[in-house]
């Protein structure tokens, strides 16, 4: 799994990614907190490495942990979010199983309470969570100004937009 967020042209951009971008200077990770498959062999849990997150100017230490992912649905896929709260407690927010796998959505969450660490795609009937289904959502602040450019296509008319995110400020313009 790559370090930090990486969005490819064919990947759907979920609200959780946009929220992480928007809050990158208010809530961010300064080190660690990577979500990976269980080190002793993949099962229905994920490991989260120790690290430090910031809620505003308050640094919060996160102790490395293993978090259980709820049993997969028998017929539908879902997306869960791995988060840490302002006390340093890591938890998993369960998504809702959806009949159409391409329509699986992460759960809603309170951005004032959590920092996003990762997204876990829980396929129907799976019995383990390998790295290949974990998406890194950490916004890591290394003291450098954070800038990201994304190109968005309006499927209704084909218009292309450039979305620039600069230190948590969004700017969008038609290309």
**Span 18-26, average pLDDT:** 54
DSSP 62-119: E--EEEEPPPPPSS-BEEEEEEEETTS-EEEE--B-BSSGGG-BPPP--TTTEEEEEE
User: Cα separation of 123 and 79, whole Å?
Assistant: 8
pLDDT at 114: 85
Q: For 64-120, how does the pLDDT look when each residue is reduced to its tens digit (9 = 90+)?
A: 999 999 999 999 988 888 999 989 999 999 888 887 755 555 566 677 788 889 989
The string of pLDDT tens digits covering residues 126-167 is 999 999 999 888 877 755 455 566 666 666 777 777 777 665
Closest CA relative to residue 61, chosen from 72, 50, 69, 45? 50
Q: What CATH number matches the domain at 15-144, 2.80.20, 1.10.3470, 2.60.40, 1.10.620?
A: 2.80.20
Q: Is the pTM of this model over 0.75?
A: no
CA angle 87, 93, 97 (to 5 degrees): 180
Domain residue extents for the chain = 15-144, 145-175
């Amino acid at each position: 799994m790559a370090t930090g967020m990486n969005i490819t042209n064919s990947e759907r951009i979920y609200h959780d990614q946009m929220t992480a971008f928007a809050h990158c200077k208010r809530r961010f990770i300064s080190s660690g907190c990577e979500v990976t498959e269980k080190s002793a062999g993949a099962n229905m849990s994920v490991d989260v490495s120790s690290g430090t997150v910031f809620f505003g100017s308050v640094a919060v230490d996160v102790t490395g942990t293993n978090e259980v992912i709820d049993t997969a649905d028998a017929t539908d896929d879902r997306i869960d979010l791995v988060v840490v709260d302002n006390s340093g407690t890591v938890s998993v927010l369960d998504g809702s199983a959806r009949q159409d796998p391409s329509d699986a959505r992460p759960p809603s969450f309170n951005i004032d309470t959590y920092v996003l660490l990762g997204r876990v795609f829980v396929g129907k009937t799976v019995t383990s969570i390998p790295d290949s289904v974990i998406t890194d959502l950490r916004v890591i602040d290394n003291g450098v100004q954070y800038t990201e450019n994304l190109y968005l296509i309006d499927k209704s008319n084909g218009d292309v937009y450039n979305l620039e995110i600069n230190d948590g400020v969004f700017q969008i313009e038609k290309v």
